[in-house]
């Protein structure tokens, strides 16, 4: 189904958050379809991600929200049977264009995964991995500064500064996830994709990570997939609702949670399914 709400809500709703149009479009998907072999997972989705905002993708499990997210930095390329059609642009450029380099794209669009997945290396090496492969640091001091800056950015510096050489796998779940975020921002991406980053964490760790996401909004464009509506409400400025591979509705988060225009969104928000 086609969703043409973008024009609709821009003038219709006056919300506490700044109007969506104040933020330029960073990434834009048009008529995106995704197939796994013969099975279609995403149907004709049009969704834009705006700069320096947190866009939340919500919906019941298996609705295709993660799949859409993985299209944005072409992680789906790693799945052999996966096929993507439609147009996805970043700053107006087609990211599936043959001239686009997937490595460079991923350096610009970083990703944080559902389960914390630190490499079985030291904390320092985890964070410095990206800068090293991309050659971003000119000297060792540079690299150390970059690691510190990234860990600070992820709010982890104070906790790990004395044990940078210890394995990253030895940290607690929430620290591991923040380590993965530090690893992602060390590459200085423009967009950070987060695929249910708190689903494996306890409530306290979740709260810390959510706070972090809110801070990261100052410098990065963020798209986050989440299972929890409360989380979407807490961290995001815009929310897109997916169901069965279709985009049901997209709107400013507050509008979405107070005054959804679609019945399925209402049902989901009020806990009728999910």
Partner 1 sequence: MSATTIIAIVLVIGAVGYLAGAARARMVVGGETAKLHSRPGYYGSFILIWATLPALLLLVAWSSFAPVLIDNQVRDTIPESVRAEQSATQQDLSINIVEAIAEGLRLLDERELQQATAGFVLLRPLLADKGVALAGNGEDWMIASAQQLNALRDTNIIWKSIAVIGLSIVGFTAGLLQIRAQLRARNRVEGVIHAGLVLASTVAILTTVGIVLSMISETGRFFSSVPPQEFFFGTVWDPRFANAEDPDAAGQFGLIPLLAGTLYIAFVAMLVAVPIGLFAAIYMAEYASSRFRSIAKPLLEVLAGIPTIVYGFFALVTVGPFLRDLSGQIAGIATGEVSSFISATSVLTAGLVMGIMLVPFVSSLSDDIISAVPRSMRDGSLGLGATRSETVKRVILPAALPGVVGALLMTASRAIGETMIVVMAAGVAARLSINPFEPMTTVTVKIVSQLTGDLEFTSPQTLVAFALGLTLFFITLALNVYALYIVRKYREQYE
Partner 2 sequence: MTDASLTPATTATGTRSHTRDIGLKARYAAERRFRAYGLAAVALGLFFLFLLLGSVIAQGYTAFWQTSIQLDIEFDEEVIDPDGNRDSDRMVLLTANYPLLAQRALHEKLGVDPDDRAARRDANSLLSQGVRTQLRDIVVSDPSIIGTTRTVWVLAHGDIDSAAKGQFDLTVEESRRRVNDRQLGYMQTLEEAGVMEGRFNTGLFTFGASSRPETAGMGVAIIGSFYMMAIVLVLALPIGVAASIYLEEFAPKNRLTDIIEVNINNLAAVPSIVYGLLGLAVFINFAGLPRSAAVVGGLVLTLMTLPTIIIATRAALKAVPPSIRAAALGVGASKMQMVFHHVLPLAAPGILTGTIIGLATALGETAPLLLIGMVAFVADYPATPFDPSTALPVQIYMWSGQAERAFVERTSGAIIILLLFLAVMNITAIILRRRFERRW
Please report whether residue 14 would count as binding partner 2 according to CB under 8 A. no
Tokens of residue 164, six digits:
């940078």
Please report whether residue 122 would count as binding partner 1 according to CB under 8 A. no
What does the buried/exposed string (b/e) look like for 93-107 if buried means 16 or more CB atoms within 10 Å of the residue's CB?
Answer: eebbeeeeeeeebbb
18 binds, among partner 2, partner 1, none (CB under 5 to 8 A by kind): none
Degrees, nearest 5: CA angle 219-225-230: 95
The window from 69-77, 79-87, 101-109, 176-184 that contacts partner 2 (CB under 8 A) reads 101-109
Among the listed residues 49, 112, 111, 77, the one whose alpha carbon sits nearest the alpha carbon of residue 247: 49
66 binds, among partner 2, partner 1, none (CB under 5 to 8 A by kind): none
Sign of CA dihedral 168, 169, 175, 176: positive
- Characterize the bridge pairing of strands 221-225 and 191-195: parallel
Q: Where are the beta strands (DSSP E) in the chain?
A: 25-36, 39-50, 54-58, 82-90, 93-94, 109-112, 191-195, 221-225, 238-243, 246-252
Residues 156-195 that bind partner 1 (CB under 8 A): 180, 183-184, 187
Among 29, 130, 153, 260, binds partner 1 (CB under 8 A): 130
Taking only Cα atoms into account, the Rg of the chain, rounded to an integer number of angstroms, comes to 19
Residue with Cβ nearer partner 1 (181 or 248): 181
25 binds, among partner 1, partner 2, none (CB under 5 to 8 A by kind): partner 2
Please report whether residue 38 would count as binding partner 1 according to CB under 8 A. no
Among the listed residues 249, 260, 237, the one whose alpha carbon sits nearest the alpha carbon of residue 19: 237
Among 4, 11, 38, 80, binds partner 1 (CB under 8 A): 80
Please report whether residue 50 would count as binding partner 1 according to CB under 8 A. no
Which residues here bind partner 2, judged by CB under 8 A?
24-25, 51, 91-93, 99-101, 103-104, 107-108, 133-136, 188-190, 219
Which residues here bind partner 1, judged by CB under 8 A?
73, 75, 78, 80, 103-108, 110-111, 113, 115, 117-121, 129-130, 133-134, 180, 183-184, 187
């Amino acid at each position: 189904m086609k969703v043409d709400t973008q024009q609709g809500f821009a003038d219709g709703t006056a919300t506490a958050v700044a109007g969506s149009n104040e933020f330029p479009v960073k990434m834009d998907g048009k008529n995106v379809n995704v197939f796994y072999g013969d099975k279609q997972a995403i149907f004709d989705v049009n969704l834009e991600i705006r700069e320096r905002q947190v866009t939340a993708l919500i919906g019941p499990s298996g609705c295709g929200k993660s799949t859409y997210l993985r299209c944005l930095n072409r992680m789906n390329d790693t799945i052999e049977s996966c096929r993507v059609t439609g147009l996805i642009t970043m700053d107006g450029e087609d990211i599936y264009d043959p001239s686009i380099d997937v490595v460079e794209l991923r350096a610009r669009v970083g990703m944080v995964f559902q389960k914390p997945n630190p490499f079985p290396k030291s904390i320092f090496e985890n964070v410095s991995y990206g800068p090293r492969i991309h050659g971003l640091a000119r000297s060792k001091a540079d690299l150390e500064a970059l690691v510190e800056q990234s860990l600070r950015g992820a709010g982890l510096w104070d906790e790990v500064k004395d044990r940078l050489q210890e394995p990253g796998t030895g940290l607690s779940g929430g620290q591991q996830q923040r380590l993965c975020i530090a690893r992602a921002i060390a590459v200085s991406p423009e967009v950070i994709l987060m695929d249910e980053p708190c689903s494996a964490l306890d409530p306290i760790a979740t709260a810390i990570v959510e706070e972090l996401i809110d801070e990261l909004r100052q410098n990065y464009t963020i798209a986050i997939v989440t299972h929890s509506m409360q989380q979407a409400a807490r961290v995001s400025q815009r929310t897109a609702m997916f169901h069965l591979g279709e985009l049901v509705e997209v709107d400013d988060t507050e509008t979405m949670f107070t005054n959804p225009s679609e019945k399925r969104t209402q049902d989901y928000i009020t806990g009728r399914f999910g």
